[in-house]
Structure 1
Amino acid sequence: MTSLNRKIVVTTPTGQVGSRVVRLLLQAGVRPTLLLRDAGKLDPETRAGVEVAEGDQTNADFVVEATRGADALFWVSPPGTGEDPVEAYARLGANAALAVRENGIAHTVFQSSIGAEKRHGVGEIDGLARTEELLNDTAGAVTLLRCGYFFSNLLADTESLRAGVLRTPWPLDHAMPWVDPRDIGEVAAARLLSADWQGKQVRAVHGPEDLTFARVAEILGGVLGHEVKPEQLSDDEFRSMLTSVGLPAAQVDGIAGMSIGLTGDFVPENARSVFTTTPTTLASWAQGQFG
């Protein structure tokens, strides 16, 4: 069976990563099956080139039925609202693993995160770690994409950036991988289109370079044309900010726990190499967003 004849199922197909996966599969000549809550979010041209399974990933029966006959699955666990994100991610992971087992899906690509290798103590990433374990317990081949910090996380603070301030709970001198979500989509699509890999594999997606928030502020200042000052928030300040926008305590713990768990002596399990480095720089991404 060629990759063009395989049934490839994509979750969160309108997200930053999923939409790139869908576009590349279409361009490769594949007619993917998209799992999403609202097919109305698809543009007409894309809608004409795909199969649609409309439903909720939290519904195990829906996930199993929608993936019936699938040869490959791209699984992204969408963030939950109003509940413990670790438990929510673990439940979603259980649905994915059930579908892989019930339908004998040969290849699964899972969008995980750096820090999942710690298994515990990394906030909501602990839920992604549990999903990794659940998928690894299935008989199918699995690739875990351990992704760096998304460039697009900066969009949540656009107003402050334009005012010249970059606020973060991370230590300003802590360097870590930063990545364009579109580049993650390219890595995922390449994996989904290949049918000759086996076993359980980890593929980190680290972006072009490790960056500190101090360096990020410098890069953004160059794009915006004015100085951007990095400012580290204390844990209490960050939690207060999250609470002020209505997030429940469990979600606050999950978000705040990520920056705590990924600093200190944490080093990603996968070293930077030609296999983990993607091309899009923060400067080029920011130019498209803020330039």
Structure 2
Amino acid sequence: MRIAVAAPTGHVGRHLVPMLIRAGVKPLLLLRDPDRLAPDVRPEVDVAEVDLLDADAVVRAVSGVDALYWVDPPPAGHNPLAEYKLATASAARAVTEGGVGRVVFQSSVGAERRHGMGEIDGLAATEVALNATDANVVHLRCGYFFTNLEYQVDAIRAGALQVLLPVNQPMAWVSPRDIAEVAAGRLLSEEWRGRIVQAVHGPADLSWQQVVGIISEAVGKPLEVERIPEEEMRGTLAGFGMSAEQIDSLVGMSTGFLGGFTPEQERSVHSTTPTTLAEWAYTELKPMLQ
């Protein structure tokens, strides 16, 4: 079985690659900088040095693989949705022209709305494009990554987080490692067919109030959360030099969940994964604060 993995050094990919190696697979890794791979991983994998937004290069790299784990790369420019269009084109062409039979796509809760969800709209477009191919496709509709808190380490040190959602609104929170485990199972199995949506919701839905309580206990310092107006957040992001398109993309990923949003996939044994936020906070976040 030949399996290709896009973004193998990302939050999910860095767990997925060793899982596949332990399963006896020598995966093909698609990335721009092979030097980012851990030294012990490098001999166990094949590498294609490609930019995931370069559709021609991706098609050449994946030609002949049986299964592909696809991640739209995080946008780096001033127009995120334009970059998502390039990523979508790469994914669809890789599958169609490269002859890939099975695809596991790292999507997000909220992609089911298709529009009005900021950056998640880019993931929704990739879902639609992959569904239009002849491949068998699983869309992993993932909850909010625990690792997103790593971008707020300074705010956690200062003891205060600012968010756009109501602080008592619950949402799915998930460990990237658990996403990798679900992905590995799908990549290794040939027992599924068609267009499948599989939610990855973590062990529990949590509000920001619950999250700061868990984090505070894990790191051993007080932490509060405050909901701020959308315009205040926009002003803060503009102060960082972000473009209007970047601000719309980031803000939309929060405001799109307002108004009683309910995920299309209910929480069940299929969508519930084991790692708790407390476990992750003690083992991963706490050391970053020391």
TM-score over 0.5 (shorter chain): yes
Deviation at 1:263, TM superposition (A): 2.0
3-state SS in 2 of match to 1:204:
strand
1:163 positional shift: 2.1
Per-residue CA deviation, residues 175-228 of structure 1 (Å, 9 max, x unaligned), is 100001111111111110111211000000000000000111111111122221
Amino acid at match of 1:234: P
Aligned residues: 286
SS at match of 1:45: coil
Residues 226-252 of structure 1 show CA distances to partners (whole Å, capped at 9, x for unaligned) of: 221111121112112222222221011
What is the deviation of 1:132? Answer: 0.1
Alignment partners' CA distance in 2, 1:225 and 1:12:
34
The residue number in structure 2 matching 1:200 is 195
2:157 paired residue among 137, 162, 170: 162
- CA–CA separation in structure 1 for the residues paired with 2:241 and 2:74: 15
- The offset of 1:116, in angstroms, is 0.3
Aligned AA for 2:286? F
CA contact (8 A) 1:242 1:252 kept: yes
Which residue identity lines up with residue 139 of structure 1 in the other structure? D
Matched residue SS, 1:272: coil
Paired AA for residue 119 in structure 1: R
1:152 aligns with 2:134: no
Consecutive unaligned residues of structure 2, counting only runs of 5 or more, are: none
Aligned residue identity for 2:230: D
| Residue number in structure 1 paired with 2:22 | 27
Instruction: Output aligned runs, 1:61-72, within 5 Å.
Output: 61-72=56-67
Out of 166, 183, 197, the residue aligned to residue 188 of structure 1 is 183
Give per-residue Cα distances to partners, 1:18-56, cap 9 Å, x unaligned. 111101000111000000000011122101000000010
TM-score by length of 2: 0.96
Secondary structure, counterpart of 1:123 in structure 2: coil
* Equivalent residue for 1:210, pick from 202, 205, 210: 205
What SS does structure 1 have at the residue aligned with 2:106?
strand
CA RMSD of aligned residues (A): 1.0
Query: Is residue 7 from structure 1 mapped to residue 2 from structure 2 by the alignment?
Result: yes
Task: Pick one of 132, 142, 146 that aligns with 1:137.
Answer: 132
Contact 1:162 1:224 in 2 (8 A): no
Deviation larger for 183-192 or 245-254 = 245-254
Query: Does the aligned pair in 1 maintain the 2:88–2:126 contact within 8 Å?
Result: yes
AA in 1 matched with 2:52: Q
Amino acid at match of 1:8: I
Partners of 1:286 and 1:37 in 2: how far apart? 30
Give me the whole-angstrom Cα distance separating, in 2, the residues matched to 1:244 and 1:278. 38
Out of 272, 279, 290, the residue aligned to residue 286 of structure 2 is: 290
1:97 and 2:86 aligned: no
Deviates more, 1:246-255 or 1:272-281: 246-255
1:136 CA displacement:
0.3
Distance of 1:149 and 1:220 partners within structure 2: 15
What is the TM-score with the length of structure 1 in the denominator?
A: 0.96
Percent identity between the two aligned chains: 50
Once residues 38 and 213 of structure 2 are traced to their aligned partners in structure 1, the CA distance between those partners, rounded to angstroms, is 37
Cα distance in 2, alignment partners of residues 91 and 58 from structure 1: 5
Contact 1:174 1:263 in 2 (8 A): no
Query: How far apart, CA to CA, are the structure 1 residues paired with 2:66 and 2:115?
Result: 31
**2: distance between equivalents of 1:37 and 1:109?**
20
CA separation in 2, counterparts of 1:57 and 1:225?
Answer: 40
**Structure 1: distance between partners of 2:38 and 2:159:** 36
**1: CA distance between counterparts of 2:159 and 2:30?**
40
Distance 2:54 2:81 in 1: 17
